[in-house]
Every structure is written in structure tokens, then in C-alpha cells.
Amino acid sequence: MQYRPLGRTGIMVSPVALGAMMFATSFGNPDPADSARIIHRALDAGINLVDTADAYGDSEEVVGRALKGRRDDVVLATKFGRAVDDDPARRGASRRWIVTAVENSLRRLGTDHIDLYQLHRPDPDTDIEETLSALTDLVRSGKVRAVGTSQAPASGIVEAQWVAERRGLVRFRTEQCAYSILNRGAEREVLPAAQRFGMGTLIWGPLGQGMLTGRVRRGGVSDLRRVGLLRHLSDERRIEVVEQLVPLAEEAGVPLTHLAVAFVVAHPGVTSALLGPRTMAQLDDLLAGVDLALGDDLLDRIDGIVPPGVDVSALDQEFRPPALLDPQLRRRPVAGRSAA
């Protein structure tokens, strides 16, 4: 396994990392012991970054127990900010919630520090200065080593960098964004912004939330658990792209899963792609492709199917700014809508 710098943190991480969402017993692998074996197999293969979140059910607890005796071998990342229950005060990026959330994560993970603490979603209701101030205190206390964002728009990345510089606060060192052959929108602004500010990037969904496994095909019956829950998994535009990618992978002599991950890690702005296996077989399949390097000709042909910077369609899980959700935020009062 080769290793890459995680931005300018000085931390070296593997180009593929282990996403732990599917280790939650409520909706992922129901056997924590099996999840522990998967985690150990990944570490033995050279993966040294494990990413989870407080919103992933009991994933933090499963990961924490699995890492006992191996904690120092791992760059341990978790996230805060998404709702963990129905209480509206137990979410977001306020100082009040951050200082509570970090203690809860430390307890569940069974550790005294978190290597990378990430804001899971932008919080438009909280001043970014308050968020960075609270995170700065966590870094100075030693409870957190570095901080990052997830699904931040390029404008949010820039704003946070400016505020940190002007107020003498810690900078966000990483961004975790969606990026795959099916969703290349990050190439327009997010990845270039991260590169401009020396940020590392962790990629979620490199397999297109399961569509780039070949398990969602036109006219077929998929065994993916999420097909009935996520609209983009039955989007005809995405299925059409998969139908073009399958023969391309076959012609190249590689599984579609390997092609998808290799495409992501080939981008110079990408640090590490998060693999989210639920079973050992899924992990072994993905590990078998870590040495694949795509040539320019194959990358050009992928560009011909999905042009650079284009999302085939939006992901259900992506962050949407308030003005896209609330019509009243993008409409003047009726009396002021006319130009005359």
C-alpha cells in the first residue's frame, strides 16, 4: 500500500480508507465480531484510516471495540453535526453541541483523542466563527488532532479559511465530498478549492452508492438493500451510464468496482476513497483492485460517457442549501416581484 499526505497535516494515509457506516448493527452488519474481523483485515492490508460518525447508529462503539490494542495503528476519523435523535438541540455546529458531541464520541470510541473530527453537514444557522472557535479549543486541549468538513460547498470552504486566518483559529484541514464516475460535480469547484488551500480530501460514495458494483442493471432485480429507499438508485439516467460502463470495464478486463475506485483515486485532488463494505467478501473484492492504475485512454473514454464536472443526477443524501428547500427564501413578497 502506498500512502499520501492528508493535506498539510503531516499525516500520511492510504489512498483507500475504511468507511464504517455499514458496521452499525441496526442497518448494516448485525454481527460486531464480524465487523471487527473486517476492520482487522483492512488494517492488515495496509489501510490506516477508519472513518465513522456519531449519526451512524452504534458504528462508533463497534469500531472502538475493534480497535482495542490497535488504536495507535489507525488514523481515526469521526463526524458530528447530523441529528443523532429527535432532539433539535442535539445536532448542528454550535459550541454547545460540539463540546457535548466530542465527549460522547470519545466515550463510544474508547479513546482519548480523535485524529480527524469533521463537521458532517454545513450548519447555516451557526456562525462559522463559533464553530471554529469551539474546534480550536478541542485541538488545543488534545482531544482532537485535526478538523475537517463534509459536503461543504466551495464558497463555504473559502469562507472558513478566511475566518480562520483572520481570527487566529484552526483551519479545516480536510473535506469529505461525494465523488464518483456518476457524480463528478466536485471537479468544478470543491476539489480545486481543496487543492488551493492544501486540504486533504476523503471521498464518500466512490461506488455510486452501490450502482457501480454492477448490481443495479436495466431490467434486472437488484439485491441492494437501499434500492427501495434512495431514488437515485432507480434513476434511468444513472442506469444508462452503468449500462455503458459495464462493457467498458469488461473490455479493460477489470471488475466495474475496481474501475470505479481507480477512477476516483486517480484525481490529483483526491487523498483517499472511502470503501464501505458490509461483508468480508465485499472488502476482499475491493482490496483486490488497489493496484489498478487507469491509463489515459481509459480515462478519456470515461470522460466521453460522463463529462468532467457533471453529475448524472443528484444524490438523495447530498446537502442542499436552505434556499433550495424553502421556497420563501428565494421569493420576494408579491408586492416587490415586478420590475416596474
Catalytic site residues?
56
Cell numbers placing 155? 464558497
Cell numbers placing 33? 465480531
Q: What is the DSSP string of 243-266?
A: HHHHHHHHHHTS-HHHHHHHHHHT
| Count of other CB atoms within 10 angstroms of residue 221 | 8
Q: How many residues does the chain have?
A: 340
**What is each CA distance from 52 to 17, 64, 96, 225, in whole angstroms?**
11, 10, 22, 20
- Alpha carbon distance 215, 234 (integer Å): 12
Q: What letter would DSSP give residue 214?
A: T
- Alpha carbon distance 170, 154 (integer Å): 18
- Alpha carbon distance 306, 7 (integer Å): 28
- Alpha carbon distance 119, 257 (integer Å): 28
Q: What is the DSSP string of 61-113?
A: HHHHHHTTTTGGG-EEEEEE-S-SSS-TTSSSS-HHHHHHHHHHHHHHHT-S-
- Alpha carbon distance 257, 181 (integer Å): 11
